[in-house]
Chains A and B, each alone.
Chain A
Amino acid sequence: GDSVTQTEGLVTLTEGLPVMLNCTYQTIYSNPFLFWYVQHLNESPRLLLKSFTDNKRTEHQGFHATLHKSSSSFHLQKSSAQLSDSALYYCALRGEEGSSGNKLIFGIGTLLSVKP
């Protein structure tokens, strides 16, 4: 079945250094949607980025990701980490248009901790 893999459980960085959080996926769908959700402490998970276009960079709030279907990856990057980026980041997958409902398949999440 469909699955999402986030290999890092915890990433600790110094402020100002670049961020890269890994996400790979497996799916039966040819045109899946990929998402990054961010959850700050005591908050709800909220959508950060989404994409379904192969090899097209998508950006929001300083973060960016590119869906690469050839490697089934959707890594999240930022050029310079800020203290406020400390949060739990989830990568998620959804089937293509017309597939079952709006069911999201989540990765286990990566906790990003940014230190001064």
Chain B
Amino acid sequence: GPKVLQIPSHQIIDMGQMVTLNCDPVSNHLYFYWYKQILGQQMEFLVNFYNGKVMEKSKLFKDQFSVERPDGSYFTLKIQPTALEDSAVYFCASSLARNTEVFFGKGTRLTVV
């Protein structure tokens, strides 16, 4: 079936440094999402992105977070600067249209030390 690829699968970063999480969404999809899952908690919506713009973001999407998809390449989540509480698994997802099936990647485990 359609696959969303996330690179890398694990990343360890020093607190205060910048990190970029990369996502290769399903090729013809137009809507992109990031979800955050802290260990032992549920996956929580961060942001959705369409036509080069953030459509909606949650309160978890701090000012230090940004997303972009330059020229149809990777959909990225950048955190600058990172904080200890950013340690989590970040899931990227995509869908063809606004209310169609959402496909998820395997997640990137981010550890901020």
Pick from A4, A45, A101: contact of B56, CB under 8 Å? A101
Q: Is the CB of A108 within 8 A of B106?
A: no
Pick from B56, B98, B106: contact of A43, CB under 8 Å? B106
Interface SS of A by simple majority? loop
Pick from A4, A45, A100: contact of B91, CB under 8 Å? A45
Task: List the B residue with the shortest CB-CB distance to A95.
Answer: B99
A102 at the B interface (CB under 8 A): yes
A4 surroundings in chain B (CB, below 8 A)? 42
Given A46-B1, A101-B55, A102-B33; A107-B42 close (CB under 8 Å): yes
In the complex the two chains form, what is the Cα distance from A78 to B16 in whole Å?
A: 47
A101 surroundings in chain B (CB, below 8 A)? 31, 48, 55-56, 98
A105 surroundings in chain B (CB, below 8 A)? 45
B112 at the A interface (CB under 8 A): no
Which of A4, A37, A44 has the most chain B CB atoms closer than 10 A to its own CB? A44
A107 surroundings in chain B (CB, below 8 A)? 42
A10 at the B interface (CB under 8 A): no
- A residues 55-111 near B (Cβ < 8 Å) are 90, 94, 97, 100-109
B100 surroundings in chain A (CB, below 8 A)? 102
Interface size on B, residues (CB 8 A): 28
Q: Is the CB of B1 within 8 A of A103?
A: no
Pick 24 A–B contacts, CB within 8 A, sort by A. Answer: A42-B106, A44-B4, A44-B103, A44-B105, A45-B43, A45-B91, A45-B104, A50-B101, A100-B56, A101-B31, A101-B48, A101-B56, A101-B98, A102-B95, A102-B98, A102-B99, A103-B45, A103-B56, A103-B58, A104-B35, A104-B45, A106-B42, A106-B43, A106-B44
Q: Please list the residues of chain B having a beta carbon within 8 angstroms of any beta carbon in chain A.
A: 1, 3-4, 31, 33, 35, 40-45, 48, 55-56, 58, 91, 95, 98-107
